[in-house]
Amino acid sequence: MSESKIGTSRREFLKSTSRIAVASALASAAAPRVHAAEDNTLQVALIGCGGRGTGAAADALSVKQGPVKLVAMADIFEDRLSGSFKNLNDRFAAQVDVPEDRKFVGFDAYKKAMDCLKPGDIAIFASPLTFRWVHFARAVEKGLHVFMEKPLTADGPTSRRLIKLAEQADAKNLKAGVGLMSRHSRALQQLHDRIQDGEIGDIVTMRAYRMTGPIGSAFSTKWPGQPSELLWQLRRFHSFIWASGGCFNDFYIHVVDHCCWMKNAWPVKAQALGGRHYRNDPAGNLCVDQNFDSYSVEYTFADGTKLILDGRCVSGCANFYSSYAHGTKGSAVVSKAGDCGAPSSTYKGQSPEKASLIWESEVPADQRNPYQNEWNDLVDAIRNDKPFNEVKRGVEASLVSSLGRKAAHTGQEITFDEMLNSEDEYAPGADKFTMDSPAPVRADADGKYPIPMPGIVTKTEY
């Protein structure tokens, strides 16, 4: 995609996407509605059968706005597909109709699973992010609504590609949900409204923390030789920037996203630091992944406002997992605990003390699960033909995450423009991967992978 088409500045980018949104709304009004099967059942295909994909499918099958049925599943790994199927079939037997001939394994399995759907059905994308644009392109071509897990991208080229595909989805009146569930937390929605109404004044600083012990597959020891290096990296996708954006994008994106939402803006630049402290597993084996153990990022918005993000994956340290907004008239606890933990609250001063409490969120019991809310909202939009396309916003949140990660990994100040317009693509040709393809990064003779070296490697991340 040429720079003339995507714009070369953040301001131009935001203006451009605003114009696209208006044009898309007009196009959607004129486009024919895309319905599910005639019996009003929304059929679902699950592509990426790990824990998050299985959870997303369970949320889809729990929607109460008309019948929903799982009819196809796809994954690169047969054992993950089998485990996911058993989990879902045990819980939702009446809604799971996935015989052996609709279970697909391999890099082309996504095509076969989507081929089982009719236009207007739903495809769930929960594989590592490197395949997000590949799968979305197929869904747009086939006229399918989608739900895609965060993060969406780790680099500039795939971000631009997804934005273009989002425009095409709008032109076809397709709905697209993104797994940034904080936006569907009723407590955070209430807080957002109060902040926009001026309850704490103008935001001047925000703080976000996800400082916990190691989780997921963020830390990996040497490749054992089996399965292939590509398949092993995909098994341990949190360890590799090309597959996940590393622990930064996958773990920190929620607090970054909901803080920017409270500000109603994306930062224009970031400077950061981080380090690798303990590079052995509990058994003493050397960890060879590409992650830092800790990160600290200062994001700057166009008006000078700051967002400070601290992330850490180290055992034995105090855990901090929450977010805050500070304004000219008061402050707010955005997420009390976790990615979007209620209650949200506002205060007269800068300290969240009970004596200065202004307001605390209250949410009906049936709306307290943001994971379920996002699916209820998506299906409502599909069944009632409401505008619903979260992809551009999901790309922006992913870009901001990548912006902070790259600033830490290079030791340089990086702008939103530079991240968006970068030509560095971490997994080129992902749409052509096979079981025999080489991995995008290869271990050296000692089994080590290229790692970030701030101040030494400054143009790229490794």
Using CA atoms, how far residue 333 sits from 29, 163, 295, 352, in Å, is 39, 32, 22, 7
Over the stretch 181-227, which tens digit does the pLDDT of each residue have? 999 999 999 999 999 999 999 999 999 999 999 889 999 999 999 99
Identify the CA nearest to 162 among candidates 380, 456, 398, 457. 398
Q: Residue 384 class from Cβ within 10 Å (0-12 exposed, 13-18 middle, 19+ buried)?
A: exposed
One-letter amino acid for residue 437 of the chain:
S
Torsion sign (Cα): 368, 374, 380, 383: negative
Alpha-carbon span 102 to 85, nearest angstrom: 11
If residue 4 lies in a helix (H) or strand (E), which one and from where to where? helix 3-6
Question: Of 238, 187, 189, nearest to 217 (Cα)?
Answer: 238
Bigger pLDDT: 19 vs 55: 55
Q: Domains plus CATH for the chain?
A: 3-182+371-389 (3.40.50.720), 187-364+400-432 (3.30.360.10)
User: Two tokens at 107?
Assistant: 């890099």
pLDDT tens track for 346-395: 999 999 999 999 999 999 999 999 999 999 999 999 999 999 999 999 99
Task: Provide the angle, in degrees to the nearest 10, between the axes of the packed helices 156-171 and 132-142.
Answer: 20
How far, in Å, CA of 330 to CA of 304, rounded? 18
Residue pair 260/400 in contact (Cβ under 8 Å)? The answer is yes
Average the pLDDT over 244-251 and give the result.
97
> How far apart, in whole angstroms, are the C-alpha atoms of residue 176 and residue 197?
29
SS3 content of the chain, % helix, strand, coil (to 5): 40, 20, 40
Strands (E) across 145-289 are located at 145-148, 176-178, 203-212, 269-275
Report pLDDT digits (tens) over 331-340. Answer: 999 999 999 9
- Quick: pLDDT tens for 75-119: 999 999 999 999 999 999 999 999 999 999 999 999 999 999 999
Handedness of CA 281, 128, 207, 341 (dihedral sign): negative
In b/e form, how buried is each residue of 132-150, taking b as 16+ CB within 10 angstroms? Answer: bbbbbbbbbebbbbbbbbb
For residue 326, what are the β-bridge partners?
Answer: 205, 331
Q: Are 71 and 118 in contact (CB under 8 A)?
A: no
Residue with tokens 């030789």: 225
pTM: 0.91
- Rounded-to-integer distance, Cα 141 and Cα 180, Å: 24
Q: How many residues does the chain have?
A: 462
Give the model's pLDDT for residue 38. Answer: 56
